[in-house]
Structure 1
Amino acid sequence: LVKGPKDRYRKRFTSVFYTRILSNGEYFDRDWLVYSEQLDRVFCFGCKLFTKGHRKGQLANEGCNDWSHMTNRLKDHETSVDHVLSMTNWYELRSRLEKHQTIDKAAQRQLEKEKDHWRKVLFRIVCIVKFLAKHNLAFCGTNGKLYEDSNGNFLGLVEMLAEFDPVIQEHVRRITNEETHAHYLDHKIQNELLHLLASAIRSEIIKKIKSSKYFSVILDCTSDASHQEQMSLIIRYEKELKLLDLDINDVRGQGYDNGSNMKGTHQGLQRKLLDVNPRAFYSACGCHSLNLTLCDMAKTCGRAKDFFGIIQRIYTKFSNSTKKWHIL
């Protein structure tokens, strides 16, 4: 920070205070001086850290903002006995921390070892989540405990890794012996990791879309285990596109299933998108159209031989038209 806000006397903090000019003209950096932008005050880092109780001088306590006399106050403070003692303690501690020679060095090593252990545990848990999500496998079972029946794929993979991986083996040992309550294996952690991964993937996809500029929109729905329709991307009146920071005028194609609310030429999403962007060419989903055609034929055809013969001819014609479409 170069300059702070002006006070009522039109004085303020400047970066000049960070430098001390010695009597012989040499410049010396005041590495102990700290400026708080929020409080608009300066503090002595060494005295603030190592001073016990309340000592003389604002720099070691509530801070100083007397900018008119700041130069003299800094000179008086840096030559005081208390400041020299605090800085000596700080320099000694800093040297010991760099050399790992503090009195609690054993505790520090144990702390670093524990931090490294949890990093490795989380890395393996994230890998398991990525594997199950990539292969579209269920995470949870009817049981949420390790080494019990029907506990799902996620805990099953944790049990498998514990057979040969020492990190997960130690983690499972702590859980089974109730040495830790933070195990990161419940469904809340799984959902949070899935959400983080999905956000990262969505950001990467949006980045690629923006680099290509023009794009198309394809929507479809599938029913989940509770027979509820799930849509992979919901676009309603271009609001979702705006939320994703995508320009609807860059759409050059749209395709949906044969639902009237989607492909309707008057009130469907096709028409609403075309009203905004006439260049968003609509093309019906060929797979859905063929499926509906076959279903209607199955209802009307009486003989199985005629039915499968017609299917063969339509499939051949559909395949040829698809190839021509790809060539075009």
Structure 2
Amino acid sequence: MKDDNEDSDSIHPLSSRASIENLNDDDNKSLSSHIDIFDPRCWDALDSKMIDVLVIKGPQRDKSIQKGLKNKFGRRFVSDLYVRILDNGEVQDRDWLVNSKELDKVFCFCCKIFKKGYVKGGLVNEGYADWTHVAVRLQEHEVGLEHKKNWATWYELQKDHWKNVLLRIICIVKFLAKHSLAIRGTKERLYENNNGNFLGLIEMLAEFDPIIQEHVRRITNDDIHIHYLSHKIQNELIFLFASSVRSEIVKKVRQAKYFSVILDCTPDVSHQEQMSLILRYVDLTSSFVVIEESFLGFINVNDIKGKARDFFGTIQRIYTIFAHSTKRWQILKDNSYLRSSISQERFNGLGLLAIENDYLEKVAHEDLVEDFVSKNSRRLLLFT
């Protein structure tokens, strides 16, 4: 996630999140037509708005240059300088290092852009071309305090940019889920036929939204490989949405205090037996009293008794979570368990399980009744 960027209030006044989000494509074209913002030779002449555009797009490397021209000592630039080997053997990309083909010099992008005043060093000013000592110089520079500060500033801008990208992706997934629209197609690549509604909306946003436009440009140019458009990310977002909705339902049920659980088993089109879980409760969050039924999900029932036994424990935990109520075991005595429990000439589900294992006998009904009576007796004494 080190390929995007966005703002810094302390560096230049226009480098803010709002100004970056408001940059449109016309601004980019007008700026690029006058000056090449990707050329390190022009970075000292950039104004605040140009810097904002450069920060969004990031530095560009000419990947075709693997080796530069040799100097009089037979030394030259090599693309291996773009990576750093850590002490533990890890390979780290020096994303801040940029090579100028015209000058045959290397620059530090973040220090060149975000420096305050004059800073000594070729990497920050006119460029560095001492290929004999370049490896040592890069190591010294990247551990310097000033470089770390400038890199941190650049990194914060990248975080803001990724937040904006994720915000748009989340909004698209939320829109599709809210309207019960299919997310994926038969293809999972941008600008391919039948790639689904999700990628189609990404392509549509890229026509006018500068954030997604730049994100798509980097994907199509292979500048980044972490793009958050895969089906795994889509599934994770859907799971998070479902968890949020489920938490809101549980919150309403807690406030309602009295509720019932509706369970039903039915096969789907593939003849897979499924159990649906629905909560019925009174919604007290609005000014009008409304009876709500909230669907919580399906549970595949492969082993009728085994799954039912597991789910019985789930129901017990559900009742334990909510406020204490004398009616919380009433569902187990409700005949609705058995209304649709006959399938293939046999009983299935919790109805038969409760009968076979005498779960209802284990419930302390007398204690519940005595508790209920004592509470109501105290209420009567208050009015006598």
TM-score of the aligned structures, taking structure 1 as reference length: 0.46
Name the structure with the higher helix share. 1
Which has the higher Rg, Structure 1 or Structure 2? 1
Choose between structure 1 and 2 for higher RCO, CA contacts under 8 A separated by at least 6 residues. Answer: 2
